[in-house]
Amino acid sequence: MRVRELAVGGALEFTPEIFPDERGRFLSPFQQPAFAEARGHPLFPVEQISYSVSRRGVVRGVHYTATPAGCAKYVFCSRGQVLDAVVDLRVGSPTFGSWDTVVLDEEECRALYLPVGVGHLFVALQDHATMHYTLSRSYEPSRERAVSPLDRDLALPLDDREAMVLSERDRAAPTLAEARERGLLPDYAVCREQDVRLAAAAGARR
């Protein structure tokens, strides 16, 4: 398992080794020893595992969960291909407002770890793009938040914006500046505290 730090503080990319043979291939998108070595603790306690299937042109995000609870994520694409964008929404973070992108697909099967307070967006580059999410908290609609993927100041690398397929929620989401002004964004110190709690809980269950 190869590990790479992203431009957003605390976010990581994991690339597994693939074992092909005459039957097909085998790989492990998540491996606890590699994660623990990179993060210094095991994966967070898992409360929910979900997946989404999207047709080409669909954009989901930029999504995050309100703090203090927040939500950490581990995501990968098992079918098709997406352009994944990781966005730092944590006010006070050294990398606040920055983002990084990774192509996730069924060929390399890279995975991403997103700490609490880090936003997530992806664009489906192929039909039937299937994204898997391992979450530290169960989904609670009242706590889910979004920042506009169309924010010109955020300047995410999205091509052909007119053809993008967005939910009404994402199309109406505030810009990063508007969300900050309205006090909707997570606080970096609070997010870090929650990350520490998740690490402690993960260590206690070993």
**Over the chain, what is the mean pLDDT?**
96
183: its two tokens: 């006090």
Q: Give strand pairing partners of 130.
A: 53, 79
**Could you give the CA distance from residue 56 to residue 77 in angstroms, rounded to a whole number?**
14
- Domains of the chain with CATH codes: 2-17+28-200 (2.60.120.10)
Q: Note the pLDDT tens digit of each residue in 98-151.
A: 999 999 999 999 999 999 999 999 999 999 999 999 999 999 999 999 999 999
Strands, sheet with 59-65, edge to edge from the N-terminal-most edge strand: 99-105, 81-88, 118-124, 59-65, 144-146
190: its two tokens: 């609070």
HSE (CB half, 13 Å, CA atoms) of 173? Answer: 24
Task: Tell whether pTM > 0.85.
Answer: yes
CB contact at 8 A, 67 and 191: yes
The backbone torsions φ and ψ at residue 189, rounded to the nearest 5 degrees and listed phi first, read -60, -40
Contact partners, residue 105, CB within 8 Å, separation at least 6: 77, 80, 81, 82
Q: Which pLDDT score, from 0 to 100, does residue 160 have?
A: 78
User: Annotated catalytic sites, by residue?
Assistant: 63, 133
Q: Note the pLDDT tens digit of each residue in 5-48.
A: 999 999 999 999 999 999 999 999 999 999 999 999 999 999 99
Q: Which pLDDT score, from 0 to 100, does residue 166 have?
A: 96
